[in-house]
Amino acid sequence: MMNELLRVEDLHTHFDSDQGTVHAVDGASFGVNRGEIVGLVGESGCGKSVTARSIIRLEDPGRIVSGRISFDGRDLTRADEATLRRVRGEDISIVFQDPHETLNPVFPIGDQIAESVRIHDGGSSQGLLDFLGVPPFRNRTAWNRAEDRAVELMEQVAIPDPNGSAAEYPHEFSGGMRQRAMLAVALASDPNLLIADEPTTALDTTTQAGILRQIWTLRDQRDMGVLLISHDIGVVAQTCDRVVVMYGGQVMESGPVDEVLTAPKHPYTRALLECSPRNLGRDERVSTLEGSPPDAVGGHDGCPFADRCRLATSDCRSGDIPVVESDPGHRVACIETPADSRGTPTVAASGQPRNVVAPDGGDEK
Ligand SMILES: Nc1ncnc2c1ncn2[C@@H]1O[C@H](COP(=O)(O)OP(=O)(O)OP(=O)(O)O)[C@@H](O)[C@H]1O
Ligand code: NI
């Protein structure tokens, strides 16, 4: 695709543990286009963060055993550390859930944003100053420029009174403002792709909505691609153009948000939607999905969701599950896709349409 920025193809990422090999990502494929917000959603432990860490190979990324990650046509899977460093400095930025851990408590917020501007814009002369151990303040003009840019960035992420706020320390900021500051740090390098791993999870819903709106606006202004990781399907519904539903290290379903979330085809997507607190009335209790996610140790044969799926047959428990494109761009990895999901009937691997007894939406009542 012409404007595809990121492509993840059949990614397998493993960790070695005392219990055995953890198949954290177990054959995931998806893409992010320029100017598009893609939501990566799924329960805890399904491999969302490891996928993100594999893309930029930061913070204990695990072992990529097979598959391919390409960014803007370049193969990142086999890139050396110098190339990756350049990609992280110029092309891809990541923000995490807890800005407490990323912001340094002893420096003013403005300085920390300016520092990332300086690293990005410094070029070779700054590299030499760094090498010689010349403190940044010695290169006054460069630092002043970076400070000005930091204030601009704070303005762009809608931090009020950016000039005054720049002098404040992280503890003087509210959680939401700290997250906005992190966003400013991430934007300092003018990335083409922003990966946001649960950026609003720790925040109250109003603050959360404000930041998600901001990400929306920034995407529009900068035409960046965004990979928004969340376990909250409501956040994805509010913010994203496309959604990738992950489970057991694999992609269960992906496609345009309005299709996937209004006419979900995969039983797992349906279960996630039923459990979303936003779909319930005031007095209804939040139900949780029955059973627990599969153990990632050793991987699994067949569909990872089979053990919790009420439609599962013996065919679901072995071999590769074929991915069916039910509508353009809407893909489902399920051989028992319910017939009442308004799509065309799913044709199984054998080429024979299956006789599926459609449940009434798979309600867990
Ligand atoms: N450093 C590691 N060593 C061993 N296993 C790991 C490591 N990091 C992650 N895992 C395992 O990989 C799997 C996927 O974890 P991941 O953090 O990607 O989940 P997630 O979808 O981001 O969940 P959450 O919503 O809780 O953040 C889990 O089974 C996890 O225990
Ligand atoms: Ni995570």
Question: For residue range 218-251, what is the model confidence (pLDDT) as tens digits?
Answer: 999 999 999 999 999 989 999 999 999 999 999 9
User: Is 44's C-beta closer than 6 angstroms to any atom of ligand 1?
Assistant: yes
Residue in 50, 60, 45, 59 with CA at minimum distance from that of residue 12? 50
**CB distance 235 to 39 below 8 Å:** yes
User: Is 18's C-beta closer than 6 angstroms to any atom of ligand 1?
Assistant: no
Q: In the prediction, which pLDDT does 125 show?
A: 55
Distance separating alpha carbons of residues 131 and 125, to the nearest angstrom: 10
User: Is 17's C-beta closer than 6 angstroms to any atom of ligand 1?
Assistant: yes
User: How far, CA to CA in Å, does 19 sit from each of 16, 49, 74, 296, 298?
Assistant: 8, 21, 35, 10, 9
Token pair of 152, please? 């601009």
Q: For a substitution probing ligand 1, which of 13, 15, 64, 289 has the most ligand atoms within 8 Å of its CB? A: 15
**Could you tell me the residue ranges of all domains in the chain?**
4-99+192-247, 107-168, 264-361
φ and ψ at 116, to 5 degrees? -75, -30
Q: For a substitution probing ligand 1, which of 22, 236, 246, 297 has the most ligand atoms within 8 Å of its CB? A: 22
Q: In the prediction, which pLDDT does 362 show?
A: 35
pLDDT band at 352 (very low <50, low <70, confident <90, very high): very low
Distance separating alpha carbons of residues 30 and 11, to the nearest angstrom: 10
Checking if the pLDDT of 330 tops 90, the result is yes
Which protein residue has the closest C-alpha to ligand 1 atom 6? 15
φ and ψ at 330, to 5 degrees? -105, 110
Token pair of 155, please? 């303005």
Distance separating alpha carbons of residues 168 and 253, to the nearest angstrom: 44
Residue in 227, 228, 261, 231 with CA at minimum distance from that of residue 246? 231
- The amino acid sitting at 221 is Q
As a whole number, the mean pLDDT across the chain is 83
User: Is 201's C-beta closer than 6 angstroms to any atom of ligand 1?
Assistant: no
Residue in 167, 164, 171, 153 with CA at minimum distance from that of residue 100? 171
**CB distance 215 to 187 below 8 Å:** no
φ and ψ at 281, to 5 degrees? -75, 175
Q: In the prediction, which pLDDT does 73 show?
A: 87
**CB distance 77 to 63 below 8 Å:** no
Token pair of 302, please? 């067949």
**ipTM of predicted assembly, 2 dp:** 0.98
pLDDT tens per residue, range 112-144: 999 888 887 765 455 555 656 656 555 677 788
User: Is 296's C-beta closer than 6 angstroms to any atom of ligand 1?
Assistant: yes
Checking if the pLDDT of 55 tops 80, the result is yes
**Ligand 1 atom closest to Cα of residue 46:** 21
Q: Please, which residues bridge with residue 69 across strands? A: 8
CATH fold, domain 4-99+192-247, is: Rossmann fold (3.40.50)
26 CA distance to ligand 1 centroid (A)? 12
User: Is 24's C-beta closer than 6 angstroms to any atom of ligand 1?
Assistant: yes
Distance separating alpha carbons of residues 281 and 59, to the nearest angstrom: 40
Q: Using the 8-state DSSP alphabet, how is residue 159 labeled?
A: -
Closest ligand by atom to 48 CA: 1
pTM of the model as a whole: 0.85
Which protein residue has the closest C-alpha to ligand 1 atom 19? 45
Distance separating alpha carbons of residues 173 and 68, to the nearest angstrom: 40
Q: Residue 270: CB partners within 8 Å, gap ≥ 6?
A: 264, 361, 362
**CB distance 84 to 93 below 8 Å:** no
Within 172-322, residue ranges assigned H as helices are: 175-187, 205-222, 233-239, 257-262, 267-275
42 CA distance to ligand 1 centroid (A)? 12
Most confident of 62-66, 98-102, 275-279, 337-341: 62-66
**CB distance 5 to 32 below 8 Å:** yes
pLDDT band at 339 (very low <50, low <70, confident <90, very high): very low
Pairing of strands 63-71, 193-197: unpaired
Which protein residue has the closest C-alpha to ligand 1 atom 30? 45
